[in-house]
Amino acid sequence: MHLAKFFHRPPGDDDRELILIPGSDPTVLGIHMNWKGDPDADEFLRKDFSNIADAISAFRRLASEFVAAGYFETIHTNYTLRDLPPDPQAKPDWQKGLDELMMLALGAPMERQASQLEALSGTPAEHEPLYLWHAARRSYSAGDDAARTVRLAEHARDTLAARRASGQSHYAWSIYQGDLEGYILELLGDAWLKAGNPDAALTTIEHLCKVAPSQTRLIKRAELICGYFPERREEAFDDAYQWSRFGGFEEIMALPGYAEYVARRKASKSAKGWRWKRGKPASEAEISAAEQALDTRLPDDYRGFLLKRGESELLVRLPEASSELRFYAPGELARQRRNVLDFIAHSEDELAEACAYFRKQYGVSLKHLVPIAEPSQLSRCLLLHVEPGARYGQCFQWDHNGAWELEQEQPSFDVALKALTDGIARRDATALAFFDL
């Protein structure tokens, strides 16, 4: 996490940036904006601290010194920004108040955080997902009724999702949207468990592990499964087997049955090496809504897959390696297509150029290539071509490292899926490479 403040002093030839980097060794950086000299000499400050309280104190003090010297804080939050525009806008007080709330959350007593929440009540801040998350944190810490904490966390989650769906901005200082979503979901999962609803807790943390995975969150999911869902214990063993080298799975590995699982896993060289995780079948209404968003009908074989499995995972379990191929829910398809298009082309001119290239090189419409699945923690995906015509329903593999390239062309979704599963069973190098195995 990098938390940045930007300061402008007219006429604008000496703008400054302060960056607070929390962590085990907190750091405060000071950077000259609009720097014209040696790129490696733009820092005017870099200081490490032994604790977050001292780092925040120094960060606040430097910000106050800038204001006293005639600077004002601007609306910018992207810590990688290095050039301010000629006439930047001043940051409103309610946003500064949310910044202060975030700093308090890094180490101040909950009483001070609660006071800041109260101070921001009645301002635009109270409608922001960041504020709502902190309000839910305060409720959880105070031991409030668990149902109230759940409502607050769900309000934060739903507000963030609604802003994203409508294209409206939200204020979260320099915190990435995906990171904020992860913090909200993690708290919501804890609140559901405190409320005595392990099913909702597991649903929440499973979604969390898809959108914002981390070692601690994988451990939390595994412990929840073993504690409340013994019939799914092998999924927790899968995670321990795959990720225990990074630590934290000791309790899972000490459970009865884990040693037998490991022996069976290592002896499975002749097994097919894959299985399906229980999914969430889609409804006709959900598929129709996705088709409306995509402005096309999905191929029949893929529609059948969505009706049978929907949002699901193909688990790859080899003796010494693991991976998952996550298939998106229908409601995610349009957003995933937009993500790929935005990655391939950064402007309308570049998009037009890319569309012409894909048409000439592969005979497909770039705007009709829909991501339908992605291997876990890899920036690649399975693409389905949905433009009516001779290449309707074809599948390709795509990797962000070769963003203008399509690989492993298959005539249909069913054929592509069978090629993958058959390749895994044969330990085919091409099939396994898609999973980085």
Q: pLDDT, tens digit, for every residue of 323-381?
A: 899 999 999 999 899 999 999 988 888 999 999 999 999 999 999 999 999 998 788 99
Contact 333, 257 (CB under 8 A): no
The confidence score (pLDDT) of residue 191 equals 95
Q: Which helix (H) or strand (E) holds 407?
A: strand 407-410
Q: Using CA atoms, how far apart are residues 306 and 368, in angstroms rounded to an integer?
A: 19
* Domain chopping of the chain, boundaries: 3-91, 282-433
Q: pLDDT, tens digit, for every residue of 384-404?
A: 999 999 999 999 999 999 999
**Confidence class of residue 118 from pLDDT cuts 50, 70 and 90?**
very high
Q: Using CA atoms, how far apart are residues 344 and 374, in angstroms rounded to an integer?
A: 17
Strands across the sheet with 27-32, in order? 43-48, 27-32, 16-21, 3-8, 72-73
Contact 94, 126 (CB under 8 A): no
56-61 LR contacts (CB < 8 Å, sep 24+): 56/20, 56/26, 56/103, 56/106, 56/107, 58/28, 59/5, 59/18, 59/20, 59/28, 59/103, 60/103
Q: pLDDT, tens digit, for every residue of 286-299?
A: 999 999 999 999 99
Whether domain 282-433 has CATH 3.40.1580.10: the reply is yes
